[in-house]
Amino acid sequence: MTEKKVTAFIGPSGCGKTTLIRCLNRMHEMTHGAYVNGEVNLENVNIYDPKVNPVIIKRRIGMVFQKPNPFPTMSIFDNVAAGLKLNGVRDKKLIAQIVKESLENAALWDEVKNELSKPGMSLSGGQQQRLCIARALAMHPEVLLMDEPTSALDPIASSKIEDLVHDLKQYLTIIIVTHNMQQAARVSDYTAFMYLGELIEFAETKQIFENPREEFTERYISGKFG
């Protein structure tokens, strides 16, 4: 994947998109019986090297899931601060600063700055998803994985997330899984088309949608299957 660009993974349900991105930060290891072959290199280091700490990898490669999942018993503030505290940060001023910056970067600060003590679950669905993005950003990741982040949201909330993706790529590498081909065309610089666990084609998004090299890709893009 190209640094500070957005790569979209498209393809029909069950083709392996989510499984693949869960391999990119070792999240798949939480699934009983899961295994992986090959390498995933981050700055020329294989994240599956036995010497690499998977906890460190999850800090460097954040993830946002399909459905918003704020911690239900925590306030808005504590949702964002949770990872920092878990990793030993005790400086209250530093935590408050990072929480504010993360909420700003997630385009949520102005909406919640006077309600930080309210439960994260009190927010709307779109706000909850941006809260989860802020929680991921608080760990200062280099890569952000987004697994269908707008599939549970209405069009207005989805548009805000798409705008946010455009803003975040100024300093983050983003990989997004989406069933929405129009969304992939709008937000991504590169697109990968997958089918039945195989990568069929990968190229700049403009080429994938306007002049795909593979016939199978063209058939999917034109709606002939999927």
pLDDT in tens, 76-110: 999 999 999 999 999 999 999 999 999 999 999 99
**Span 5-36, pLDDT tens digits:** 999 999 999 999 999 999 999 998 888 888 88
| Residue 182: per-residue pLDDT | 94
- The tokens for 129 are 């998803």
- Cβ proximity of 201 and 214 under 8 Å: yes
Report the Cα 215 to chain-centroid distance in Å.
Answer: 29
Which residues, listed in sequence order, are joined to residue 46 by a DSSP beta bridge? Answer: 41
- The tokens for 174 are 């983003």
| Residue 226: per-residue pLDDT | 66
Which residues, listed in sequence order, are joined to residue 143 by a DSSP beta bridge? Answer: 61, 173
- The tokens for 153 are 């949201």
Among all chains, which residue has been given the structure tokens 């795909």? 212
For the chain, give the percent of residues with pLDDT over 90.
87
User: How is the chain split into domains, by residue range?
Assistant: 6-76+141-221
Q: At 172, phi and psi to the nearest 5?
A: -135, 150
- pTM score, whole prediction: 0.93
**Span 146-190, pLDDT tens digits:** 999 999 899 999 999 999 999 999 999 999 999 999 999 999 999
Pairing of strands 190-195, 198-204: antiparallel
Q: What would the DSSP string read from start to end of the chain? A: --TT-EEEEE-STTSSHHHHHHHTTTGGGGSTT----S--EETTEETTSTTS-HHHHHHHEEEE-SS----TTSBHHHHHHHHHHHTT---HHHHHHHHHHHHHHTT-HHHHTT-TTSBGGGS-HHHHHHHHHHHHHTT--SEEEEESTTTTS-HHHHHHHHHHHHHHTTT-EEEEE-S-HHHHHHH-SEEEEEETTEEEEEEEHHHHHHS-SSHHHHHHHTTS--
Mean local confidence (pLDDT), 137-142: 96
| Residue 30: per-residue pLDDT | 80
CATH fourth-level superfamily of 6-76+141-221 = P-loop containing nucleotide triphosphate hydrolases (3.40.50.300)
